[in-house]
Structure 1
Amino acid sequence: MMVPFDVQVADLHGFEREVGVRLADAISGSGVSRVVLLSGLNAHLKMGTSLGAAEMEDRLETLGLPELVHLRAGFFNENFVKGMGFLQQAETGVFATPFRGDLPMPLIAAGDIGVRAAELLAADDWPGDRVIELHGGGYYTLAEATAILGRAIGRDVAYQTVSYDDARAGMLQVACRPASSRR
């Protein structure tokens, strides 16, 4: 299970809390004893974009589930295209997000996370660890990832850090376009 991230809501953390309470209530009333939560790699910090994941981890811990794992995954490769509009931004020669471009972070494909979650759910032996970190194939700065992706599409693209408000406005612009124009 996961709490969806929705950049279009006015109060992201309020939305995450509302959804999280509903999910926890559904699990509590269902008799389900094995849960894999897709959390965030920085959930232990209990702040920023990982706050909703941290709160969901805490919410599930209170249920006393015998088999519960928090998968703390790195940054999804798919975020570049689906959430942050890399292709649209690359047309301008600049890829901008609110994150520092010089800090290496683990990048991972969503499919790899799905495989690990499925393995856990089907396992005969439940792991002893409540938290499992998924780091993917390597650590890259956003500046390095931007250069790699730019080369892959045959463009020189520079990375730039912008304010959260500017980044959100750009993500909303991409999210509100018809799907056929986002490719």
Structure 2
Amino acid sequence: MIVITAPTGQIGRQVLDIVLGDVLDGGESVRVIARDPSRLAPRVRERVEVVVGSHGDPDVVDAAFAGADSVFWLAPPNPRAARVEDVYVDFSRPACDAFKRQGVRRVVGISALGRGVPGNAGLVSASLAMDDLIAGTGVGYRALTLPSFMDNMLRQVEAITSQGVFFQPVAGDLKAPTCATRDIAAVAAGLLLDHSWSGQDEVPVLGPEDLSFEDMARIMSEVLGRPVRFQYVPVESFRDTLTRRGMSEAMAQGMADMMTAKDRGLDNAEPRTPAATTPTTFRQWCEEILKPVVLA
């Protein structure tokens, strides 16, 4: 039995699709935890067991993890949380209790690069604390440690389309890894379907290349056939924009602290290895994902 949390989210949805594709001929049963099952595609609802509710609810996770061998764990975003720790560590406590109580053998979790880097990195630091909490249960654990997502660029489609510009509080010439969510999902699904591993480790997912935001602007310009430029914004302005849009002060500060750490090279701390290099290039992602959205 594989249990998948956040099955309608950006990553969880793709994990679920890959897992269901692999178990098409039977053999592995799949269960999902969903607040709103109507958001699952009909073809998916027909093939999975659904536990309705939040995976932060003790009763929900206790029921969902009964008989489970492997769990995909993703703490969902909560932009109005009073503390960053609430989103990652406190949200995960009921699940950690259920891992032990229900005898779950393996957990694959979504986390971030940054282990061993000194200083507060906001959301990243909270993600790593969540990893420690899960590992402390004794369950087999693989934390997927991730840089920024290529797919985050979709949040700025309006500015890219109407103004030919995107914004970040990071130096434009800093080269760093990025990864596509579809590659994250592929790595996660592979681990969920592999019943041979045990113990605890981190699995970096670094994409195939290090690019700066200026590199990305050039690639987007070439793919879209129109000029796109990068605009640096001070981290204070970035934080203030988030609060104006409704994010809590604590979460906005957590985002700002994370981006400051990235600007100082957080995502470059992990050495690139063949095992950590996933296939989707930024140019390919722009051709297949960004361009159709911009031109729609």
TM-score normalised to structure 2 length? 0.51
Q: Residue 188 of structure 2: which of 87, 108, 117 is its match?
A: 117
Is 1:70 aligned to residue 143 of structure 2?
Answer: yes
Structure with higher Rg: it is 2
Q: Find the aligned partners of 2:229 and 2:101 in 1 and give their Cα distance.
A: 50
CA change 1:149–1:8 in 2 (3 A) is farther
Q: Find the aligned partners of 1:141 and 1:171 in 2 and give their Cα distance.
A: 27
Aligned pair count reads 173
Unaligned runs of 5+ in 1: 176-181
Q: 2:106 touches 2:198 (CA, 8 Å); kept in 1?
A: no
**Superposed displacement of residue 147, structure 1:** 2.5
Aligned to 2:128: 54
Unaligned runs of 5+ in 2: 1-72, 248-293
Q: Find the aligned partners of 1:30 and 1:167 in 2 and give their Cα distance.
A: 43
**Superposed displacement of residue 128, structure 1:** 6.2
Is 1:157 aligned to residue 199 of structure 2?
Answer: no
**Superposed displacement of residue 103, structure 1:** 1.7
Counterparts of residues 20-39 of structure 1 (less than 5 Å): 20-39=92-111
Q: 1:77 touches 1:109 (CA, 8 Å); kept in 2?
A: yes
Q: Secondary structure at the match of 1:130?
A: strand
Query: C-alpha deviations, 1:23-81, integer Å up to 9, x for none?
Result: 3234333321201111102244362331121111111121111x211111232111110
Q: Secondary structure at the match of 2:163?
A: coil
Higher relative contact order at CA 8 Å, sep ≥6: structure 1 or structure 2?
1
Aligned to 1:178: none
Q: Secondary structure at the match of 2:134?
A: helix
Q: Residue 89 of structure 1: which of 126, 147, 159 is its match?
A: 159
CA RMSD of aligned residues (A): 2.9
Q: Find the aligned partners of 1:59 and 1:89 in 2 and give their Cα distance.
A: 39
The percentage of counterpart residues that share the same residue type is 25
TM-score normalised to structure 1 length? 0.78
What code does the residue aligned with 1:47 have?
A
Q: 2:89 touches 2:127 (CA, 8 Å); kept in 1?
A: no
